[in-house]
Each structure stands twice: as C-alpha cells, then as structure tokens.
Amino acid sequence: MRYNTLDKRNYKIPVSSIHYTALAEMTFVKDTYMKKQKISDAVIHRLPRYYRYLDDLYHKGVLRISSSSLGNKMDITASQIRQDLSCFGEFGQQGYGYNVAELRAEIGHILGIDYGHRLIIVGAGHLGHALLQNFDFAKAGFHVDSAFDISPALIGKTVGSITIRSMDELDAYVAQYRPDVAVLTVPQSVAQPLASRLIDMGIRGFWNFTNVELSADGEDVFFEDIHFVDTLLTLSYRISRT
Amino acid sequence: MRYNTLDKRNYKIPVSSIHYTALAEMTFVKDTYMKKQKISDAVIHRLPRYYRYLDDLYHKGVLRISSSSLGNKMDITASQIRQDLSCFGEFGQQGYGYNVAELRAEIGHILGIDYGHRLIIVGAGHLGHALLQNFDFAKAGFHVDSAFDISPALIGKTVGSITIRSMDELDAYVAQYRPDVAVLTVPQSVAQPLASRLIDMGIRGFWNFTNVELSADGEDVFFEDIHFVDTLLTLSYRISRT
DNA sequence: TAGATTGTTAATCGATTAACAATC
DNA sequence: TAGATTGTTAATCGATTAACAATC
C-alpha cells in the first residue's frame, strides 16, 4: 500500500525496503543514484502539528479524513498537506483520503516517537522541577532517565520516580547510560560550558530553556530552544499595534 | 536623522511625526493615501532575536555595529537585517552603521517593551509557580499584576511579591484592573472555556502554555503558544535521522 | 460505475539575497 | 577626501497554492 516515488519515471518501490532514516534524506534520480532531498524547516515544523491533530482525531474515534477536511480544521490548504506528506511517502488513497490511525502512526514514526529516546534533566530548579512533575515526556516518546542539580538541598530528593543526582555524577552517568537528549534548565551563565561538556560526552540533542543560543562547532548537534522572552516579546509586539 | 520612505517617489518625512503604532501598519502610495503594508511573520519573529543580540552588545559596551558584522554574529545576511529594519524606518548611517544603544531602543520600542504591559498568571501550579519565581517578566517589559488558582492549598500563598488569588475573584479583578495579557498555565481541559471567558472580559493577549490551539471567533485577539510537545518532537525528528 | 480524492507537476506568490547609487 | 556602509531596487530562490491526470 505505502510506496514512495523514486525517480522521474515514477518507478516505485515499497517504502519498507528502505531504512526509514535514509528515506527522508534521499530520493532517486533517473539514473537510480541517490541524491539528498532536503526537507525544509517549514515542513518539519508542521509535522508535530499534524501529529497533534491526527492524535486528537484518533482519540475521538475518527477513522478517516481527507486532506481538505484536515486542512479546514488546521486552517491550512489541502495542497499544503498533500505536498508536505509527499516528502515522506504516499499515505493516502484516492477517493478515500487518509486512514487516521495509519497516518498518525506514520507521522509519529517520522518524528521518531517510537524510537525510545532517553533524556536527562540538567538543572532541577523550579522549571526543571515543573517539567519533572507535570510534563508528559512519554507523549513525545521520551523517557526521563535522571535529573541533576548542584544544590545540596535538591540532591537526593525524589520527584515522581526520579531521584535528583549531584552534578558531580553527571560525567560518569552520561558515559555509562548515554542518554540521547539533555534538557537544559540551568542558569544562563553556565549553559554554554555545560552544553560543550555534554557534547564532548556524546550528547547530540538539547532542549534548551536558557535564553542563550548555544553553539557546537562543526558537530552534528541539534538545539531546540524555548526562548520564553522572545515569544513574550512577539506577543507584546502584536498587542501594541491595534 | 531618522526618516521613513513613504511613496514611490521617495518623498520622506521624519518618523517622529507619525505615531509609532501606525507606522508599522501603513505606507504612503503615490497619491499620498495610506495603505497597509503588512509586516511578515518572518520579520516579526526575528525582531526579538535582534533585540536580544543588540541588548547583549549594549551591555558589553559596544557603541556601534554594521549590518554585516551583526549578520556574522547572528548567522544571517546583512541584506536581511537591512531589509527587515527598513520595514520600520531608517535607523543607520551610511559609512558608520548603527548606533547600538539607539537601535536597541528603537527595536525595543517597536516590540512594545516600553509600553508598560500588565499581565496576570492563571494557574499557579508547578509551571505557573516556576514562571513567578524565575522568569524576568520585566526583561520583556511586562509587569505581573496577580496570579490565580482554584486550589485552596495555593490561594493566599505569596510567591515573590505576588499573592495567589482565588479563581472566584478573576472576573472582578479583570473588570477592575484590565490587564493586557493572561498567561495560561492551566490544565488543557479548561484552557478554551477560560480563554473565551477572558476574551469576553476584554483580554486580547494570551501566553498559552497548554498544548491546545485556542480560538477567538472574529475578535482581535493574539495567542502566543508555547507548545512544549511540538518542540520536543522536532528535536526527536532531528536526532532520529543521523 | 461515478464521485471523490490522491500525488504530482506547473503556476504563483512571497521571502531572501545581491547589487548599487546615495552619502556619511 | 576616500572608504565604508546604508536603504532600496532588482534578481533569485524557495515555499505555497492551483490544477489535473490517475485511480480507488
């Protein structure tokens, strides 16, 4: 059922025969050689939103949906949905639309939700604490391995099922358990040196809650920044001119 | 010194003679009538980042900067910076560049940082609490007026200088003090009805930490969403394919 | 089957980058 | 002054939308 268009002559091979990671990065050209097909940031940033809407439909028991009715709900064009999805494969059926459960699973898979990523929380102050208490990491397919802080008042404390460890144990812990992602809920001043240290230890993903932009020279590292101030300023801009 | 190009013939009038709010929304056309010149979302979302970099330079004591050196720091083109700024006026000087303090102040002004916006925090659970404790609202030009919760365990408690009020007092409070923005740190299930209620009471800006998209039918209301799950899924996507 | 809806190609629209005259 | 750098117009690039043959 699921096929992927591979070259200009529309020669198709089953998606299942290609490793998924590779799929998003390549497309075949006429001579059947591979060539990188970059997925634009605009598309990538829409994927979680697609997932959110499909997950909602799924839990409401909706079985199928067309690009046009999904577009209505999401306030985007049906064309955009079909164009976006076509970056990753063919998930629909003419005359029918998309099977909600199937498309939800496919997009979840593209997002890596079923990969079993593990993360650590570095900085267990109010914000780190709030994430530990409230945030449903499993919803994004993540498992919280451990949390770290320098404060003696916090070390040893248990939040949910997680016991806060001393920062002194960080290096040994990362070396042994090799988490995929570090959540940075530390003061700004220590963010970059800490990130550099974690990168050296092999961590390649950062969920960065500090208000600084982090850098990793040359390495294959990804930062996802939550810039609270920036979003609040955007809101300030909008309400200031009406 | 600061002028704004107003029509196709490059007739210029001093920026100071136009009310700032209006400036971003209009441009003159040949017949000198006003016409809306929409500032694109792409530009708007870069403004806080410009502010952040300029604020940093300012605090480091840097007096002037050219678009090309700022572009180097920010990893964008000098063209883009000049193009973006030209939406709002002329802030530089040929052969010199931009005065850091002046440009910082101008962009701050465009963002409404000096407007004196007031906000309330609705939901004083872990996340609301963390924001009250840690977040420097003043940095974005906001003042926290009050916080609200339904939990008897929280009502009456003081966090920093803010005493948490009962949700029962919300309507009367908003009617009397008319805050500009509401921070929504409440459970998903109550987010939309609560937002609708606050919109009815005249609130037009929402800093939304719930994972649902809110709607305001027809009204002139702005939502700035912090979708934690979405950003974490974006990170998941990126680390899953390398 | 006929109607609906896909995936994809082509057309359009908008955003980014380059180039350059103006001028500090 | 000469060099540097702006603001702006033009060129390019990329993203969105429209259109439609394929087909369930």
Condensed to tens digits (0 to 9), the pLDDT of residues A108-124 reads 999 999 999 999 999 99
Helix A126-134 to helix B126-134 angle (10° resolution) is 170
The closest nt to B78, taking CA to C1', is: C17
Residues 59-88 of B with CB under 7 A from strand C: 76-77, 79-80, 82-83
- Cross-chain residue pair A180–B207, CB shorter than 8 Å: no
Residue indicated by tokens 């929380």: A121
- Residue B25's contacts (CB-CB under 8 Å, 6 or more residues apart) are A241, B36, B37
Helix A41-59 to helix A100-111 angle (10° resolution) is 140
User: Residue at minimal CA–C1' distance from C3?
Assistant: A95
- Quickly give A55 CA vs C13 C1' distance in Å: 32
Give residue-wise pLDDT tens across range A35-92: 357 899 999 999 999 999 999 999 999 999 999 999 999 999 999 999 999 999 999 9
pLDDT band of residue B141 (cuts 50, 70, 90) is very high
Nearest to B140 among A115, A125, A232 (CB): A232
In this predicted structure, the answer to whether residue A231 has a pLDDT above a threshold of 80 is: yes
- Quickly give B93 CA vs D4 C1' distance in Å: 10
> What's the N-to-C CA distance of chain B in angstroms?
51
Structure pTM? 0.88
Helix B228-240 to helix A100-111 angle (10° resolution) is 70
User: What's the pLDDT score for residue A35?
Assistant: 38
